[in-house]
Structure 1
Amino acid sequence: MTIFAVISGAESWEDIEDFGETHLDFLKQYGDFENGIPVHDTIARVVSCISPAKFHECFINWMRDCHSSDDKDVIAIDGKTLRHSYDKSRRRGAIHVISAFSTMHSLVIGQIRTDEKSNEITAIQNFLTCWILKEKSSQLMRWVARKILQRRYKTGR
């Protein structure tokens, strides 16, 4: 339910609860909601018990099963710094992520967090190893990513 809600635009635990109430008949196809939709506090507690690493692994596997890359699809890989993620009061730096976007399906098929913007090359290489790609396309993507990042850092853009 939570994944469906977030994909549909839910941004808070209350939004997820509202999504569940609105789409209860649909959700009953996929789970037991005999007692109705859990309240937002329960949803938050359950989600907080899920290991982020295991969730990431399951999500990547799910996207891999749903997404079959063919020669016509272009996977765009890009690093971004999330706006407003810097927390000065807690001395936490901004969050940097690497995303893979399927242009054919208009879908982010994977995303990983990096510690610093300067770690993009290593992060992209690690990201690509998560995916089972054809050997040639994997090597080409690594080479292209490396060249783009080298040019970006040389020019400062």
Structure 2
Amino acid sequence: MHETLSYLEEVEDTRQEKKVLHSMSDIIAIVFFASLANASEWTEIYYFAVERETFLRKYLKLANGIPSHDTIQRVFAMVSPEFLGKFQTQWNELLSSNEGEKIKKILAIDGKTQRGNGTNKQKANHIVSAVDEEGFCLGQKCVNEKTNEITAIPDLLDDLNIKGNIITTDAMGTQTNIVKKWIGYN
């Protein structure tokens, strides 16, 4: 996991160096770990970090402690989506490795609509997630606006190493082609 997290050190930090108290890589990692535990609001991410500071210090420097939720939000907004996408890809590769086998057991596949991000011209995002029994999200796929979870679940499964795992889902995920994909992995 340390190799995957070391990628975060490569992020371009455009902040004024003399005003920086918290490393950008630490902030990205905090948001990442918190989002794996389904924290979705900045205050939830902050409280996640405060409650799990001992765990986070195993992987992060946190030289000045846990940043405030305002700092987390402000700094995270500076990170490019391409950088985050590449980090997510590296995380998925970690999960598919032997190291990733240590954290997988039961996976729940489910879709949720993100409230508050829709507009008059665009529907709110609908995300299909794979969550383990500890509440960590191991992968996500955004459902295309003109489709549904049935098309996103196979793509999500392709990104995960599900061999040997127990998969749970609601009725939407029990389509023949999805079940065949599960059986093909086991």
1:14 is displaced (CA, Å) by: 2.8
User: Structure with the greater relative contact order (CA < 8 A, sep ≥ 6): 1 or 2?
Assistant: 2
RMSD: 4.0
Q: Distance in 2 between matches of 1:27 and 1:87?
A: 33
Q: Is the 8 A contact 2:37 2:137 kept in 1?
A: no
- Equivalent of 2:125 in 95, 117, 120: 95
Q: Which residue of 2 aligns with 1:28?
A: 57
1:38 aligns with 2:67: yes
Q: Is the 8 A contact 1:96 1:113 kept in 2?
A: yes
Q: Is the 8 A contact 2:38 2:136 kept in 1?
A: no
Count of aligned positions: 136
* TM-score, scaled relative to structure 1: 0.56
Q: Distance in 1 between matches of 2:159 and 2:67?
A: 34
Q: Which residue of 2 aligns with 1:144?
A: 177
Q: Is the 8 A contact 2:118 2:125 kept in 1?
A: no
> 2:85 corresponds to which letter in structure 1?
A
- Equivalent of 1:66 in 100, 104, 120: 100
Q: Which residue of 2 aligns with 1:115?
A: 144
Q: Is the 8 A contact 2:125 2:143 kept in 1?
A: yes
> 2:141 corresponds to which letter in structure 1?
I
Q: Distance in 2 between matches of 1:124 and 1:95?
A: 15
Q: Distance in 2 between matches of 1:15 and 1:106?
A: 14
Unaligned runs of 5+ in 1: 135-140, 148-157
Unaligned runs of 5+ in 2: 1-29, 164-173, 181-186
Q: Is the 8 A contact 2:50 2:66 kept in 1?
A: yes
Q: Distance in 2 between matches of 1:63 and 1:45?
A: 29
Q: Distance in 1 between matches of 2:49 and 2:85?
A: 25
The verdict on how the C-alpha distance between 1:118 and 1:2 changes in structure 2, with shifts beyond 3 A counting, is: closer
Which structure would you say has the larger Rg? 1
Q: Which residue of 2 aligns with 1:54?
A: 86
1:15 is displaced (CA, Å) by: 3.2
> 1:45 corresponds to which letter in structure 2?
R
Q: Is the 8 A contact 2:36 2:138 kept in 1?
A: no
For the residue of structure 1 that corresponds to 2:67, the secondary structure is coil
1:60 is displaced (CA, Å) by: 2.0
Q: Is the 8 A contact 1:63 1:110 kept in 2?
A: no
For the residue of structure 1 that corresponds to 2:33, the secondary structure is helix
- Equivalent of 1:82 in 72, 96, 113: 113
> 2:88 corresponds to which letter in structure 1?
H
Q: Is the 8 A contact 2:127 2:140 kept in 1?
A: yes
The verdict on how the C-alpha distance between 1:84 and 1:22 changes in structure 2, with shifts beyond 3 A counting, is: closer
1:44 is displaced (CA, Å) by: 1.8
